[in-house]
A and B are shown apart, each in its own frame.
Chain A
Amino acid sequence: GAVVSQHPSWVICKSGTSVKIECRSLDFQATTMFWYRQFPKQSLMLMATSNEGSKATYEQGVEKDKFLINHASLTLSTLTVTSAHPEDSSFYICSAPQIQETQYFGPGTRLLVL
């Protein structure tokens, strides 16, 4: 089946630093990928839609200058959390649709900002 990977699986960083998270579709091409954030015991909240070859589309309330998204190729999207602060600590998950509507999710990246 379709596989989506994320790297790193977890990261700890100091407040004020930037963190880059990669999302790859391993056996299929994805012109669109989605980035979600999940706080403990809560649902997944869509942050942005990553589009290959064009700018990302951000959901209301998500700062595009803080969460930089680059869809570098048909198999790679990156999310950079700039100047991370403790409140950015969360579980970040990407997804990619292989066929229409059915999305496959990555394993997630746990970010802890000290």
Chain B
Amino acid sequence: GESVGLHLPTLSVQEGDNSIINCAYSNSASDYFIWYKQESGKGPQFIIDIRSNMDKRQGQRVTVLLNKTVKHLSLQIAATQPGDSAVYFCAETPNSGGYQKVTFGTGTKLQVIP
């Protein structure tokens, strides 16, 4: 089945600490995963992506980890800043090739405490 968000869990983190946001996806055939950041009243903003043939990918201050065995995805944010406060969504597409529709998971609201 598809991941559907019905509620919004919240993660509160002290400024400067590292944040870890977790996501469980449902489709074992998914090939491509993306993390999006959504600020209030705005559209989702691409953060980082990873393909199913990888288990880790790093960006600037962000790292995505993929565990296909347990269908788990995580986003790590180093040295969290107030500007990181937003809702974070993991998303998946079924397979590579062509323009695939994106299925969003349940979002997590990140609150950074100054």
Q: Which of A34, A42, A108 contacts B42 (CB 8 A)?
A: A108
A32, A44, A100 pick with most chain B CB within 10 angstroms: A44
Evaluate contact between B99 and A43: CB separation under 8 angstroms.
Answer: no
- Grouping DSSP codes into helix (H, G, I), strand (E, B) and loop, the A interface class, with mixed when no group exceeds half, is strand
Nearest B residue to A104 by beta-carbon distance? B46
CB pair B4 A45 closer than 8 Å: yes
Partner of A108, one of B6, B41, B100: B41
B73 at the A/B interface (Cβ < 8 Å)?
no
- CB proximity of A2 to chain B, nearest CB, Å: 9
Provide the residues of chain B in CB contact with A89, threshold 8 Å.
none
The reply to whether B99 and A105 contact each other, CB–CB distance below 8 Å, is no
Query: How long is the Cα–Cα vector from A32 to B105 in the complex, in angstroms?
Result: 22
Number of interface residues, chain B, beta carbon within 8 A = 30
Interface size on A, residues (CB 8 A): 25
CB distance from A92 to the nearest CB of B (A): 10
Determine the distance from Cα of A93 to Cα of B43 in the docked complex, in whole angstroms. 7
Which listed residue, B97, B104, B106, touches A100 by the CB 8 Å rule? B97
Complex CA–CA separation, A93 to B46 (angstroms):
14
What CA separation (Å) do A105 and B107 show in the bound complex?
16
Q: Closest B-chain residue to A109, C-beta based?
A: B43
B22 CB within 8 Å of chain A: no
Given the known inter-chain contacts A100-B96, A101-B96, A102-B49, please indicate yes or no for A44 contacting B104, CB distance below 8 A: yes
CB–CB B8/A41 < 8 A: yes
A45-70 interface with B by 8 A CB criterion: 45-46, 49
**Interchain CB contact under 8 A, A107 and B42:** yes
B7 surroundings in chain A (CB, below 8 A): 41-42
Which of the residues B6, B42, B46 comes within 8 Å of A102, measured between beta carbons?
B46
A103 at the interface (CB under 8 A from B): yes
Interface residues of A in 81-114 (CB under 8 A from B): 93, 95, 97, 100-108, 110
**Complex-state Cα separation, A43 to B77, whole angstroms:** 21
Say whether, besides A42-B6, A43-B5, A100 and B99 are in contact (CB < 8 Å). yes
Sort A-B residue pairs by CB-CB distance and give the 8 closest, nearest first.
A43-B5, A105-B43, A32-B99, A43-B104, A97-B99, A44-B104, A105-B44, A41-B8
